């Protein structure tokens, strides 16, 4: 495990704020047990904030035919939809909702080549709401596998999330299981598959990035 390199500033800021608060508590609180209780609470919050930006080591299960989860979380959508932005056809949408305690680093779901990427500024509705898919800040990445199959995933910012990091560039090669970005705080991943894909998850399932197989192409 290591800390996401795009999050060093956020982690440093959390530790600085924590240290300042503990110093202020030491100056204004005269009860030792109250001071130590509040200090322990601040330290726990700072450690949690640090772990939030962790990038875990995972066993790679994906390939050019096996699509794995982009992120940790819970399946909240599994249905047929029309994808209007790039694929422009009926697809199967599988969505993963991440809460505050899930790893928020994102990982390439399949081996292939990035054929499309676009960032969309937007609003910050609660990520599990259906309209969040179109109205919230999001970034879309489409990948074509070596076998010629197209799939797309969308990183959505949530109510508390205010930054999406994505490494996608058209033409770059992807390898399932390698980090492709991070979304800070509660958010969602929408994945779009061809209608003939064999979906291996259902609504309510908990999934792990890199390891849980979402679909077979």
- Residues identified as active-site: 187
Q: What is the distance between the alpha carbons of residues 165 and 186, in angstroms, rounded to a whole number?
A: 14
Q: What is the distance between the alpha carbons of residues 104 and 4, in angstroms, rounded to a whole number?
A: 10
Residue 98 CB neighbours (<10 A): 26
Q: What is the distance between the alpha carbons of residues 125 and 136, in angstroms, rounded to a whole number?
A: 6
Element (H, E) at 192: strand 187-193
Question: Using an 8 Å Cβ cutoff, are 150 and 89 in contact?
Answer: no
3-state helix, strand, coil in the chain (%, to 5): 25, 40, 40
Q: What is the distance between the alpha carbons of residues 92 and 81, in angstroms, rounded to a whole number?
A: 6
């Amino acid at each position: 495990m290591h800390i996401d390199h795009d999050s060093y500033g956020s982690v440093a800021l959390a530790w600085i704020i924590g240290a300042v608060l503990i110093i202020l508590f030491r100056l204004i609180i005269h009860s030792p047990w109250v001071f130590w209780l509040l200090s322990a609470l601040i330290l726990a919050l700072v450690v949690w904030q640090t772990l939030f930006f962790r990038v875990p080591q995972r066993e790679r299960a994906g390939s050019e035919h096996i699509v794995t989860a982009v992120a940790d979380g819970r399946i909240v959508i599994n249905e047929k939809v029309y994808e209007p932005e790039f694929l422009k056809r009926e697809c199967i949408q599988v969505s993963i909702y991440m809460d505050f305690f899930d790893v928020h680093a994102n990982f390439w779901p399949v081996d292939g080549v990035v054929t499309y990427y676009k960032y969309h500024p937007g609003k910050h509705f609660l990520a599990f709401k259906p309209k969040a898919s179109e109205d919230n800040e999001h970034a879309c990445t489409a990948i074509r596998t070596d076998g010629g199959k197209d799939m797309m995933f969308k990183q959505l910012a949530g109510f508390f999330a205010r930054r999406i990091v994505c490494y996608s560039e058209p033409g770059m090669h992807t390898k399932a299981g390698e980090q492709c970005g991070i979304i800070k705080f509660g958010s969602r991943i929408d994945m779009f598959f061809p209608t003939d894909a064999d979906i291996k998850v259902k609504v309510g399932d908990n999934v792990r990035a890199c390891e849980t197989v979402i679909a077979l192409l």
